[in-house]
Amino acid sequence: MDGGMSFEQRSAAVEQACRALAGVDGDLWAASGAELGRFASQLDELGTRVDAARVDLLREAVDRAEAGSGRSGAHAWLLDHSPSLRAGGSARVVRLAETAHDERYAALVAAVRQARVPLVTAAVVVEEFERLGPRLAEGAEGPVLDGLIDVASWGRPKDVRGLRDRLVAKYGAAGEFQGEHDRLCERRSLSQAFSDGFGLFEYTMVVDAEARATIEAAVQGLSAPRPADEEPDRRASGQRRMDALLEVVRRGVGSADGVATTPKAELFVTVSLQDLVARSNAATVFGSGEAGTLIGPETARRIACDAGIVPVVLGKDGQVLDLGRRFRLFTSAQLRALWLRDGGCTFPNCTVPASWCDGHHLRHWVDGGATDLGNAALLCGRHHTIVHRKGYYGELIDGHVRWLLVPGSYDRWLADRQAASAGRAAVVGERPAVRTYDVWGELEIASGSQPSPPWRP
Protein backbone atom coordinates (compact mmCIF):
# COMPACT_ATOMS: atom_id res chain seq x y z
CA MET A 1 0.00 0.00 0.00
CA ASP A 2 1.00 3.64 -0.45
CA GLY A 3 3.14 4.76 2.53
CA GLY A 4 1.36 8.16 2.57
CA MET A 5 -2.09 6.76 3.24
CA SER A 6 -3.93 7.67 6.44
CA PHE A 7 -5.18 5.00 8.80
CA GLU A 8 -8.76 5.57 7.62
CA GLN A 9 -7.68 5.09 4.02
CA ARG A 10 -5.83 1.90 4.90
CA SER A 11 -8.83 0.54 6.75
CA ALA A 12 -11.06 1.30 3.78
CA ALA A 13 -8.59 -0.38 1.40
CA VAL A 14 -8.55 -3.53 3.53
CA GLU A 15 -12.33 -3.60 3.55
CA GLN A 16 -12.32 -3.18 -0.21
CA ALA A 17 -9.82 -6.05 -0.56
CA CYS A 18 -12.11 -8.28 1.50
CA ARG A 19 -15.01 -7.46 -0.79
CA ALA A 20 -12.80 -8.09 -3.86
CA LEU A 21 -11.98 -11.59 -2.65
CA ALA A 22 -15.53 -12.51 -1.74
CA GLY A 23 -16.95 -14.79 -4.43
CA VAL A 24 -13.65 -15.01 -6.33
CA ASP A 25 -14.32 -18.68 -7.06
CA GLY A 26 -16.99 -17.69 -9.55
CA ASP A 27 -14.56 -15.64 -11.67
CA LEU A 28 -11.46 -17.82 -11.76
CA TRP A 29 -12.70 -19.76 -14.78
CA ALA A 30 -12.20 -16.68 -16.98
CA ALA A 31 -8.51 -16.23 -16.06
CA SER A 32 -5.64 -17.52 -18.19
CA GLY A 33 -2.94 -19.72 -16.75
CA ALA A 34 -0.57 -16.80 -16.41
CA GLU A 35 -3.24 -14.74 -14.68
CA LEU A 36 -3.89 -17.53 -12.19
CA GLY A 37 -0.20 -17.66 -11.32
CA ARG A 38 0.03 -13.90 -10.91
CA PHE A 39 -3.07 -13.86 -8.71
CA ALA A 40 -1.59 -16.60 -6.52
CA SER A 41 1.56 -14.50 -6.02
CA GLN A 42 -0.52 -11.46 -5.14
CA LEU A 43 -2.47 -13.42 -2.54
CA ASP A 44 0.77 -14.76 -1.09
CA GLU A 45 2.19 -11.25 -0.62
CA LEU A 46 -1.13 -10.07 0.77
CA GLY A 47 -1.11 -12.87 3.34
CA THR A 48 2.46 -12.08 4.38
CA ARG A 49 1.63 -8.39 4.80
CA VAL A 50 -1.51 -9.26 6.80
CA ASP A 51 0.67 -11.20 9.25
CA ALA A 52 3.13 -8.30 9.52
CA ALA A 53 0.28 -5.82 10.09
CA ARG A 54 -1.10 -8.03 12.87
CA VAL A 55 2.26 -7.85 14.65
CA ASP A 56 2.35 -4.05 14.49
CA LEU A 57 -1.32 -3.82 15.44
CA LEU A 58 -0.86 -5.96 18.52
CA ARG A 59 2.24 -4.07 19.58
CA GLU A 60 0.32 -0.78 19.38
CA ALA A 61 -2.56 -2.26 21.39
CA VAL A 62 -0.15 -3.46 24.07
CA ASP A 63 1.65 -0.10 24.21
CA ARG A 64 -1.69 1.64 24.77
CA ALA A 65 -2.71 -0.93 27.39
CA GLU A 66 -5.68 -1.83 25.23
CA ALA A 67 -4.64 -5.47 25.32
CA GLY A 68 -4.27 -5.84 29.06
CA SER A 69 -0.97 -6.78 30.69
CA GLY A 70 1.54 -9.47 29.94
CA ARG A 71 1.64 -12.11 27.26
CA SER A 72 -1.66 -13.66 28.35
CA GLY A 73 -3.46 -10.33 28.04
CA ALA A 74 -2.04 -9.74 24.55
CA HIS A 75 -3.01 -13.24 23.51
CA ALA A 76 -6.57 -12.89 24.76
CA TRP A 77 -7.02 -9.52 23.03
CA LEU A 78 -5.72 -10.90 19.75
CA LEU A 79 -8.05 -13.90 19.82
CA ASP A 80 -11.04 -11.68 20.65
CA HIS A 81 -10.45 -9.60 17.52
CA SER A 82 -8.95 -12.30 15.26
CA PRO A 83 -11.04 -15.42 15.82
CA SER A 84 -9.45 -17.19 12.84
CA LEU A 85 -6.24 -17.45 14.90
CA ARG A 86 -7.96 -19.68 17.43
CA ALA A 87 -7.09 -22.54 15.10
CA GLY A 88 -3.38 -21.69 15.51
CA GLY A 89 -0.81 -19.00 14.80
CA SER A 90 -1.64 -16.51 17.54
CA ALA A 91 1.47 -17.36 19.57
CA ARG A 92 3.72 -16.33 16.69
CA VAL A 93 2.05 -12.93 16.42
CA VAL A 94 2.41 -12.35 20.16
CA ARG A 95 6.06 -13.44 20.12
CA LEU A 96 7.00 -11.16 17.22
CA ALA A 97 5.12 -8.23 18.78
CA GLU A 98 7.32 -8.64 21.87
CA THR A 99 10.52 -8.64 19.82
CA ALA A 100 9.55 -5.36 18.17
CA HIS A 101 10.74 -3.63 21.36
CA ASP A 102 14.11 -5.44 21.29
CA GLU A 103 16.71 -3.53 19.27
CA ARG A 104 18.54 -6.75 18.46
CA TYR A 105 15.60 -7.85 16.30
CA ALA A 106 15.17 -4.57 14.38
CA ALA A 107 16.40 -6.11 11.13
CA LEU A 108 14.11 -9.12 11.54
CA VAL A 109 11.02 -6.98 12.23
CA ALA A 110 11.87 -4.84 9.18
CA ALA A 111 12.14 -7.98 7.03
CA VAL A 112 8.70 -9.11 8.22
CA ARG A 113 7.16 -5.70 7.48
CA GLN A 114 8.67 -5.75 3.98
CA ALA A 115 7.19 -9.22 3.34
CA ARG A 116 10.71 -10.66 2.89
CA VAL A 117 10.41 -13.09 5.81
CA PRO A 118 7.14 -14.91 6.57
CA LEU A 119 5.87 -14.68 10.11
CA VAL A 120 6.21 -18.40 10.77
CA THR A 121 9.89 -18.37 9.74
CA ALA A 122 10.57 -15.18 11.70
CA ALA A 123 9.24 -16.87 14.85
CA VAL A 124 11.71 -19.72 14.28
CA VAL A 125 14.55 -17.20 13.94
CA VAL A 126 13.71 -15.79 17.38
CA GLU A 127 13.39 -19.27 18.86
CA GLU A 128 16.73 -20.43 17.45
CA PHE A 129 18.60 -17.24 18.35
CA GLU A 130 17.48 -17.40 21.97
CA ARG A 131 18.44 -21.07 22.12
CA LEU A 132 21.87 -20.35 20.63
CA GLY A 133 22.60 -17.23 22.71
CA PRO A 134 24.09 -18.90 25.81
CA ARG A 135 26.28 -21.13 23.63
CA LEU A 136 27.92 -18.40 21.55
CA ALA A 137 31.33 -16.84 21.95
CA GLU A 138 31.54 -13.19 22.98
CA GLY A 139 30.73 -10.85 20.11
CA ALA A 140 29.17 -13.54 17.92
CA GLU A 141 25.49 -12.61 18.39
CA GLY A 142 25.39 -10.11 15.52
CA PRO A 143 26.80 -12.38 12.78
CA VAL A 144 24.67 -15.30 13.96
CA LEU A 145 21.41 -13.33 13.90
CA ASP A 146 22.28 -11.86 10.49
CA GLY A 147 22.87 -15.37 9.16
CA LEU A 148 19.56 -16.62 10.53
CA ILE A 149 17.65 -13.72 8.97
CA ASP A 150 19.37 -14.22 5.62
CA VAL A 151 18.39 -17.89 5.48
CA ALA A 152 14.85 -17.04 6.66
CA SER A 153 14.45 -14.69 3.67
CA TRP A 154 14.68 -17.58 1.20
CA GLY A 155 14.41 -20.79 3.20
CA ARG A 156 11.93 -22.72 5.24
CA PRO A 157 11.75 -23.06 9.02
CA LYS A 158 13.65 -26.36 8.77
CA ASP A 159 16.45 -24.57 6.92
CA VAL A 160 16.76 -22.08 9.79
CA ARG A 161 16.79 -24.85 12.38
CA GLY A 162 19.32 -26.74 10.31
CA LEU A 163 21.89 -23.99 10.90
CA ARG A 164 22.16 -24.75 14.61
CA ASP A 165 25.13 -27.11 14.54
CA ARG A 166 27.02 -25.10 11.95
CA LEU A 167 26.59 -21.86 13.85
CA VAL A 168 27.72 -23.39 17.14
CA ALA A 169 30.68 -25.04 15.42
CA LYS A 170 31.77 -21.69 13.93
CA TYR A 171 30.66 -19.14 16.54
CA GLY A 172 30.24 -21.20 19.69
CA ALA A 173 32.17 -20.71 22.90
CA ALA A 174 35.35 -22.75 23.27
CA GLY A 175 34.51 -26.44 23.62
CA GLU A 176 30.77 -25.86 23.29
CA PHE A 177 30.23 -27.86 20.10
CA GLN A 178 32.23 -30.88 21.23
CA GLY A 179 30.67 -30.72 24.70
CA GLU A 180 27.16 -30.84 23.26
CA HIS A 181 28.05 -33.86 21.12
CA ASP A 182 29.55 -35.60 24.14
CA ARG A 183 26.36 -35.00 26.12
CA LEU A 184 24.24 -36.35 23.27
CA CYS A 185 26.50 -39.38 22.95
CA GLU A 186 25.76 -40.27 26.57
CA ARG A 187 22.04 -40.46 25.70
CA ARG A 188 22.43 -43.22 23.12
CA SER A 189 20.32 -46.22 23.98
CA LEU A 190 19.03 -49.54 22.68
CA SER A 191 16.10 -51.06 24.51
CA GLN A 192 15.57 -54.70 25.35
CA ALA A 193 13.46 -56.63 22.86
CA PHE A 194 9.72 -56.24 23.36
CA SER A 195 7.54 -59.10 22.12
CA ASP A 196 4.30 -58.38 20.31
CA GLY A 197 3.00 -61.82 21.29
CA PHE A 198 2.94 -63.05 17.68
CA GLY A 199 6.56 -63.99 17.15
CA LEU A 200 7.93 -60.52 16.38
CA PHE A 201 10.05 -58.29 18.61
CA GLU A 202 10.44 -54.53 18.78
CA TYR A 203 13.49 -52.49 19.76
CA THR A 204 13.70 -48.77 20.46
CA MET A 205 16.96 -47.15 19.44
CA VAL A 206 18.07 -43.58 20.20
CA VAL A 207 21.24 -42.30 18.53
CA ASP A 208 23.14 -39.06 18.10
CA ALA A 209 24.41 -37.55 14.84
CA GLU A 210 27.66 -39.52 14.84
CA ALA A 211 25.92 -42.84 15.46
CA ARG A 212 23.29 -42.12 12.83
CA ALA A 213 25.93 -41.28 10.23
CA THR A 214 27.88 -44.43 11.11
CA ILE A 215 24.80 -46.67 10.90
CA GLU A 216 23.65 -45.14 7.63
CA ALA A 217 27.13 -45.46 6.13
CA ALA A 218 26.89 -49.20 6.76
CA VAL A 219 23.22 -49.78 6.01
CA GLN A 220 22.54 -47.60 2.97
CA GLY A 221 24.88 -49.42 0.64
CA LEU A 222 23.48 -52.81 1.64
CA SER A 223 19.80 -51.91 1.64
CA ALA A 224 19.36 -51.05 -2.05
CA PRO A 225 17.14 -53.50 -3.98
CA ARG A 226 19.21 -56.41 -5.26
CA PRO A 227 17.49 -58.33 -8.06
CA ALA A 228 18.76 -61.79 -8.93
CA ASP A 229 18.23 -63.89 -12.05
CA GLU A 230 16.21 -61.06 -13.62
CA GLU A 231 13.71 -61.22 -10.75
CA PRO A 232 13.08 -57.96 -8.86
CA ASP A 233 13.88 -57.67 -5.19
CA ARG A 234 10.39 -57.61 -3.65
CA ARG A 235 11.48 -56.85 -0.09
CA ALA A 236 9.97 -53.69 1.41
CA SER A 237 12.34 -50.83 2.25
CA GLY A 238 12.10 -51.50 5.98
CA GLN A 239 12.86 -55.19 5.49
CA ARG A 240 15.88 -54.42 3.30
CA ARG A 241 17.24 -52.07 5.94
CA MET A 242 16.72 -54.65 8.67
CA ASP A 243 18.41 -57.34 6.57
CA ALA A 244 21.29 -54.94 5.96
CA LEU A 245 21.68 -54.24 9.68
CA LEU A 246 21.68 -57.96 10.41
CA GLU A 247 24.39 -58.47 7.79
CA VAL A 248 26.48 -55.79 9.48
CA VAL A 249 26.04 -57.48 12.87
CA ARG A 250 26.83 -60.95 11.50
CA ARG A 251 30.05 -59.69 9.98
CA GLY A 252 31.15 -58.28 13.29
CA VAL A 253 30.47 -61.37 15.38
CA GLY A 254 30.61 -64.24 12.90
CA SER A 255 34.38 -64.76 12.77
CA ALA A 256 36.89 -66.32 15.09
CA ASP A 257 37.70 -64.34 18.23
CA GLY A 258 35.09 -61.78 17.25
CA VAL A 259 37.37 -60.21 14.62
CA ALA A 260 35.55 -59.36 11.39
CA THR A 261 36.93 -61.10 8.31
CA THR A 262 36.29 -58.07 6.11
CA PRO A 263 36.98 -54.38 6.78
CA LYS A 264 34.31 -52.63 8.80
CA ALA A 265 32.25 -49.73 7.53
CA GLU A 266 34.25 -46.53 7.37
CA LEU A 267 32.75 -43.16 8.13
CA PHE A 268 34.38 -40.73 5.75
CA VAL A 269 34.77 -37.20 7.09
CA THR A 270 36.61 -34.15 5.85
CA VAL A 271 38.55 -31.95 8.25
CA SER A 272 41.71 -29.92 7.79
CA LEU A 273 44.88 -31.23 9.37
CA GLN A 274 45.25 -27.97 11.26
CA ASP A 275 41.77 -28.29 12.79
CA LEU A 276 42.31 -31.98 13.56
CA VAL A 277 45.57 -31.31 15.40
CA ALA A 278 44.24 -28.23 17.17
CA ARG A 279 40.94 -29.91 18.11
CA SER A 280 39.06 -26.93 16.66
CA ASN A 281 36.07 -26.54 14.34
CA ALA A 282 34.11 -29.58 13.16
CA ALA A 283 34.48 -32.38 10.65
CA THR A 284 31.89 -32.88 7.91
CA VAL A 285 30.61 -36.26 6.76
CA PHE A 286 30.76 -36.81 3.00
CA GLY A 287 30.26 -39.58 0.46
CA SER A 288 27.09 -41.04 2.00
CA GLY A 289 23.43 -40.30 2.50
CA GLU A 290 24.35 -38.42 5.68
CA ALA A 291 26.60 -35.98 3.82
CA GLY A 292 26.77 -32.64 5.59
CA THR A 293 26.39 -34.03 9.13
CA LEU A 294 28.84 -32.33 11.49
CA ILE A 295 31.09 -34.31 13.81
CA GLY A 296 32.88 -32.77 16.80
CA PRO A 297 36.66 -32.24 16.52
CA GLU A 298 37.54 -34.71 19.28
CA THR A 299 35.18 -37.24 17.74
CA ALA A 300 36.92 -36.75 14.39
CA ARG A 301 40.28 -37.50 16.05
CA ARG A 302 38.89 -40.71 17.51
CA ILE A 303 37.40 -41.72 14.15
CA ALA A 304 40.74 -41.01 12.46
CA CYS A 305 42.38 -43.43 14.88
CA ASP A 306 39.64 -46.04 15.15
CA ALA A 307 38.55 -46.21 11.52
CA GLY A 308 42.03 -46.58 10.04
CA ILE A 309 42.06 -43.38 8.00
CA VAL A 310 45.70 -43.66 6.94
CA PRO A 311 47.44 -42.40 3.77
CA VAL A 312 47.50 -45.15 1.19
CA VAL A 313 51.27 -44.91 0.70
CA LEU A 314 51.78 -46.04 4.29
CA GLY A 315 50.00 -49.27 3.52
CA LYS A 316 52.16 -50.47 0.64
CA ASP A 317 55.48 -51.57 2.11
CA GLY A 318 55.50 -55.13 3.38
CA GLN A 319 51.88 -55.97 2.53
CA VAL A 320 51.67 -59.34 0.78
CA LEU A 321 48.70 -59.65 -1.58
CA ASP A 322 49.13 -63.18 -2.93
CA LEU A 323 49.21 -65.63 -0.04
CA GLY A 324 48.61 -68.88 -1.93
CA ARG A 325 47.22 -71.89 -0.14
CA ARG A 326 48.55 -71.12 3.32
CA PHE A 327 45.62 -68.85 4.20
CA ARG A 328 41.90 -69.33 3.58
CA LEU A 329 40.67 -65.78 4.20
CA PHE A 330 41.58 -62.75 2.16
CA THR A 331 43.56 -60.15 4.08
CA SER A 332 42.54 -56.52 4.41
CA ALA A 333 45.30 -55.58 1.95
CA GLN A 334 44.00 -58.05 -0.61
CA LEU A 335 40.42 -56.86 -0.17
CA ARG A 336 41.45 -53.25 -0.69
CA ALA A 337 43.22 -54.29 -3.89
CA LEU A 338 39.96 -55.95 -4.98
CA TRP A 339 38.05 -52.78 -4.12
CA LEU A 340 40.24 -50.94 -6.61
CA ARG A 341 40.02 -53.64 -9.29
CA ASP A 342 36.36 -54.66 -9.09
CA GLY A 343 34.80 -51.44 -7.80
CA GLY A 344 31.94 -53.26 -6.06
CA CYS A 345 29.93 -56.46 -6.23
CA THR A 346 30.74 -58.18 -9.53
CA PHE A 347 27.33 -59.84 -9.92
CA PRO A 348 25.52 -58.31 -12.93
CA ASN A 349 23.80 -55.00 -12.16
CA CYS A 350 24.49 -55.09 -8.41
CA THR A 351 25.36 -51.70 -6.87
CA VAL A 352 26.59 -52.73 -3.41
CA PRO A 353 29.82 -50.80 -2.71
CA ALA A 354 33.14 -52.58 -2.52
CA SER A 355 33.68 -52.08 1.21
CA TRP A 356 30.64 -54.24 1.96
CA CYS A 357 31.52 -57.16 -0.30
CA ASP A 358 33.09 -60.53 0.46
CA GLY A 359 36.17 -61.91 -1.22
CA HIS A 360 34.93 -64.93 -3.22
CA HIS A 361 37.25 -67.72 -4.43
CA LEU A 362 36.49 -68.22 -8.12
CA ARG A 363 37.89 -71.73 -7.73
CA HIS A 364 36.54 -72.59 -4.31
CA TRP A 365 39.10 -72.92 -1.55
CA VAL A 366 37.90 -76.42 -0.69
CA ASP A 367 38.50 -77.37 -4.35
CA GLY A 368 42.12 -76.25 -4.24
CA GLY A 369 41.61 -72.60 -5.10
CA ALA A 370 44.36 -70.26 -3.92
CA THR A 371 43.74 -67.19 -1.80
CA ASP A 372 45.23 -64.72 -4.26
CA LEU A 373 43.97 -61.90 -6.44
CA GLY A 374 43.91 -63.98 -9.60
CA ASN A 375 41.35 -66.30 -8.02
CA ALA A 376 39.25 -63.63 -6.32
CA ALA A 377 36.07 -61.65 -7.01
CA LEU A 378 34.01 -59.28 -4.89
CA LEU A 379 30.44 -60.35 -4.12
CA CYS A 380 27.87 -58.89 -1.74
CA GLY A 381 26.42 -61.22 0.88
CA ARG A 382 23.20 -61.86 -1.06
CA HIS A 383 24.88 -62.65 -4.37
CA HIS A 384 27.67 -64.60 -2.70
CA THR A 385 24.98 -66.93 -1.37
CA ILE A 386 23.29 -67.16 -4.79
CA VAL A 387 26.56 -67.93 -6.62
CA HIS A 388 27.30 -70.82 -4.25
CA ARG A 389 23.74 -72.10 -4.13
CA LYS A 390 23.26 -72.16 -7.91
CA GLY A 391 26.82 -73.09 -8.78
CA TYR A 392 27.59 -70.18 -11.11
CA TYR A 393 30.99 -70.13 -12.75
CA GLY A 394 33.10 -66.97 -12.78
CA GLU A 395 36.48 -66.18 -14.25
CA LEU A 396 38.86 -63.25 -14.45
CA ILE A 397 39.42 -62.05 -18.02
CA ASP A 398 41.53 -58.97 -18.78
CA GLY A 399 41.06 -57.65 -15.27
CA HIS A 400 37.27 -58.07 -15.25
CA VAL A 401 35.22 -60.77 -13.55
CA ARG A 402 32.70 -62.44 -15.87
CA TRP A 403 29.91 -64.74 -14.74
CA LEU A 404 28.28 -67.63 -16.58
CA LEU A 405 24.72 -67.50 -15.26
CA VAL A 406 23.95 -71.17 -15.87
CA PRO A 407 23.10 -73.28 -12.81
CA GLY A 408 25.77 -75.92 -12.23
CA SER A 409 28.28 -74.33 -14.61
CA TYR A 410 30.94 -74.21 -11.88
CA ASP A 411 30.65 -77.94 -11.16
CA ARG A 412 30.92 -78.76 -14.86
CA TRP A 413 33.97 -76.54 -15.21
CA LEU A 414 35.55 -78.16 -12.15
CA ALA A 415 34.86 -81.69 -13.44
CA ASP A 416 36.44 -80.85 -16.81
CA ARG A 417 39.42 -79.23 -15.09
CA GLN A 418 39.99 -82.21 -12.84
CA ALA A 419 39.64 -84.61 -15.76
CA ALA A 420 42.21 -82.65 -17.75
CA SER A 421 44.56 -82.56 -14.78
CA ALA A 422 44.29 -86.36 -14.53
CA GLY A 423 45.34 -86.71 -18.18
CA ARG A 424 41.89 -87.67 -19.40
CA ALA A 425 40.16 -85.88 -22.24
CA ALA A 426 37.38 -83.66 -21.07
CA VAL A 427 34.06 -84.71 -22.46
CA VAL A 428 32.09 -81.68 -23.51
CA GLY A 429 28.52 -82.37 -24.63
CA GLU A 430 26.03 -79.97 -26.11
CA ARG A 431 25.74 -76.83 -24.11
CA PRO A 432 22.54 -74.86 -23.56
CA ALA A 433 22.17 -71.39 -24.96
CA VAL A 434 23.69 -69.07 -22.37
CA ARG A 435 24.30 -65.46 -21.63
CA THR A 436 27.50 -64.15 -20.10
CA TYR A 437 28.01 -60.76 -18.52
CA ASP A 438 31.00 -58.72 -17.54
CA VAL A 439 31.30 -56.93 -14.21
CA TRP A 440 29.19 -54.00 -15.40
CA GLY A 441 26.31 -56.21 -16.56
CA GLU A 442 26.96 -55.67 -20.28
CA LEU A 443 25.53 -58.44 -22.44
CA GLU A 444 28.42 -60.27 -24.06
CA ILE A 445 26.81 -63.20 -25.88
CA ALA A 446 23.20 -63.13 -26.99
CA SER A 447 20.83 -65.88 -25.94
CA GLY A 448 20.72 -68.64 -28.54
CA SER A 449 24.37 -68.43 -29.58
CA GLN A 450 27.03 -70.95 -28.70
CA PRO A 451 29.96 -69.42 -26.80
CA SER A 452 33.30 -71.09 -26.38
CA PRO A 453 32.90 -73.08 -23.15
CA PRO A 454 34.62 -71.03 -20.44
CA TRP A 455 35.08 -74.15 -18.36
CA ARG A 456 37.83 -75.51 -20.61
CA PRO A 457 41.28 -75.41 -18.97
Tens of each residue's pLDDT in the chain, 457 residues: 456 789 999 999 999 999 999 999 999 999 999 999 999 999 999 999 999 999 999 999 999 988 877 788 899 999 999 999 999 999 999 999 999 889 999 999 999 999 999 999 999 999 999 999 999 999 999 999 999 999 999 999 999 999 998 899 889 998 898 888 888 888 999 999 999 888 899 999 999 888 888 888 888 878 888 888 778 888 899 999 998 888 888 776 554 444 444 444 455 566 655 554 455 667 776 545 556 777 776 666 555 444 333 222 223 343 433 344 345 567 878 888 898 899 899 999 888 888 778 888 898 876 778 888 899 999 987 888 788 878 899 999 998 999 999 998 988 998 888 888 776 544 444 443 333 333 333 333 333 333 333 332 2
Q: How many CB atoms lie within 10 A of CB 307?
A: 16
Q: CA–CA separation, 372 vs 334, rounded Å?
A: 8
Q: Please tell me whether residues 41 and 165 are part of one structural domain.
A: yes
Structural contact between residues 450 and 456, judged by C-beta atoms closer than 8 angstroms: no
**Domains: count for the chain:** 4
Q: CA–CA separation, 267 vs 214, rounded Å?
A: 6
Residue 5 lies in a domain: no
Q: CA–CA separation, 349 vs 351, rounded Å?
A: 6
Q: Please tell me whether residues 169 and 36 are part of one structural domain.
A: yes
Q: Please tell me whether residues 49 and 110 are part of one structural domain.
A: yes
Q: Which amino acid is at 414?
A: L
Instruction: Write the CA distances from 356 to 152, 175, 220, 379, 407, integer angstroms.
Output: 41, 35, 11, 9, 25
Residue 364 lies in a domain: yes
Q: ∠ CA(293), CA(286), CA(441), 5° rounding?
A: 135
Q: Please tell me whether residues 165 and 217 are part of one structural domain.
A: no
Given 144, 173, 202, the domain boundary residue is: 173
Range of 343's domain?
324-437
Q: CA–CA separation, 399 vs 250, rounded Å?
A: 30
> What is the distance, to the nearest Å, from the Cα of residue 189 to the centroid of all Cα atoms in its chain?
21
Q: pTM value?
A: 0.57
Q: How is 139-207 classified by DSSP, letter by letter?
A: T-HHHHHHHHHHHHTTS-HHHHHTTHHHHHHHHBPTTHHHHHHHHHHTT-EEPPPEE-SSS-EE--EE-
Residue spans of alpha helices (H) in 22-139: 33-63, 70-81, 90-99, 106-113, 119-132
Helix%, strand%, coil% for the chain, nearest 5: 55, 10, 40
> If residue 396 lies in a helix (H) or strand (E), which one and from where to where?
strand 393-397
Q: Please tell me whether residues 37 and 163 are part of one structural domain.
A: yes
Q: Please tell me whether residues 38 and 162 are part of one structural domain.
A: yes
- Picking from 159, 433, 394, the residue whose alpha carbon sits closest to that of residue 292 is 159
Q: Please tell me whether residues 39 and 113 are part of one structural domain.
A: yes
